[in-house]
Amino acid sequence: MSLPVVLLTHPRERLATYFGEQALEQLRQVASVRLNPDAHDWSTAELIEAARGCDVLIAYRQTPLDADFFAAVPDLVAAVRCAMDIRTIDVQAASHHGVLVTRASAGFGPAVAEWVIGVMISLSRHIATDTASYWQGRAVQPRMGLELRGACVGIIGYGEIGRRVAALAQAFGMRVCIHDPHVVPQDEAIESMELMQLLACADHVVCLAPATPATENLIDARALARMKPSAYFINAARGQLVDDQALLQALEQGRIAGAALDVGREADQMPSPALARHPKVIATPHVGGLTPQAIGHQALETVAQTVHILEGRVPPGAVNPQHARRLAGRAAR
């Protein structure tokens, strides 16, 4: 009996970084694995051709799966996203054709929380800017830095990452304030505030809210105007939460002291070049969760989901199990 066929869409140069050998080896124990030999993300036409005869497709985080794709792959049982964000998958179209869609759980909470604390220290002590000046051969004058101890961090979005940032901040002796209309903190030392109140009192504003229609441009000119001129803005969530032009103007006009951005509105959530090159900004290319532990968590969870599917079972992380007719048909064989 031949093995079921699983397609991995990760471009070849992203496979080791965003999936890894351990997960690939485990996957090969249960399926015949097809890999993307190209260095680019496949177009829909390329995806359709590559997915013919496949039972499961494991999608790289940037792989778009649209209605045309799902209509053209009658053998596909499931589309398994090796990431938490599934906005590039047309779930309605998948459901219409009876294809199961799954997502991976986060797993990157510790990595992103550490990134947040790292850039808070760098901003407060001018580490990145002074280092860049030395690299460029410029004379560097000592500047007074600020300690995290005693400063106030305002966390917008108190989910898993927000809670981890709060715990690390408390270990540094910081005052912690949060804004999350859906969560009441259990720790009495953490203050819950309305957004504008938090913005006005925080020395470091950390944006960790989910990207929804309600949070589009949550940090706009009005929000930035509430911040202290000495405060720093940090975004480790999604680019859609921030009005880039308003942030750039606030930096140019000295209405905030600086920013750190791991996300933005460019492709793959990269920070925009205009903000990334600003001298008051620390920008990184969406790497807050890019550690072996975080990537391994999602890749191995994706393999476990695939095993469930190949056995005819609905896995944890299923998005549309009530529409998974092809999986139900597989289980009935």
What does DSSP assign to residue 143?
-
| Known active-site residue 297 | no
Read off φ and ψ for residue 296, nearest 5 degrees. -60, -40
What does DSSP assign to residue 267?
G
**CA dist list (Å): 333 to 256, 282, 311:** 62, 55, 11
Looking at the chain, the number of H-run helices and the number of E-run strands are 14, 12
Q: Which of 61, 238, 323, 330 is catalytic?
A: 238
Half-sphere exposure of 3 (CA within 13 A, CB side): 12
CA–CA separation, 151 vs 210, rounded Å?
A: 25
**CA dist list (Å): 21 to 59, 96, 153, 260, 300:** 16, 34, 39, 32, 10
CA–CA separation, 327 vs 307, rounded Å?
A: 12
Single out the residue of 204, 218, 215 nearest to residue 176, CA to CA. 204
List the strands of the sheet with 232-235, edge to edge: 191-192, 175-179, 152-156, 204-207, 232-235, 258-261, 281-283
CA–CA separation, 269 vs 317, rounded Å?
A: 23
Q: Which of 10, 164, 278, 286 is catalytic?
A: 286
231 touches 259 (CB < 8 A): no
Single out the residue of 40, 16, 3 nearest to residue 299, CA to CA. 16
| Known active-site residue 238 | yes
3 touches 56 (CB < 8 A): no
CA–CA separation, 302 vs 103, rounded Å?
A: 8
Q: Give the catalytic positions in this structure.
A: 238, 286
